[in-house]
Amino acid sequence: MPRNYSQGFRDCAVGLVFDRFRDGSGVSRWVVISDIGLKLGVSRESLCRWVNRAE
């Protein structure tokens, strides 16, 4: 069932992904998105879509 996330939540999640990229941890984009999505309870596909829109 689709869930509606507030714009603020989406912005925060995308910010976490970008922060992790900036850390230069050397992991792939998909790994970062998967890890953060799991921690936040958001599907990887949704989080990936949000990140793509924000770029």
The full set of domain ranges for the chain reads 7-54
Q: What is the DSSP string of 12-36?
A: HHHHHHHHHHHTT----HHHHHHHH
pLDDT band for position 3 (50/70/90)?
confident
Indicate the pTM of the whole model. 0.86
Multiple choice CATH, 7-54, 1.10.1670.10, 3.40.50.300, 3.40.50.410, 1.10.10.10: 1.10.10.10
Contact 42, 35 (CB under 8 A): no
Q: Which tokens belong to 40? A: 């936040």
Percentage with pLDDT > 90 across the chain? 73
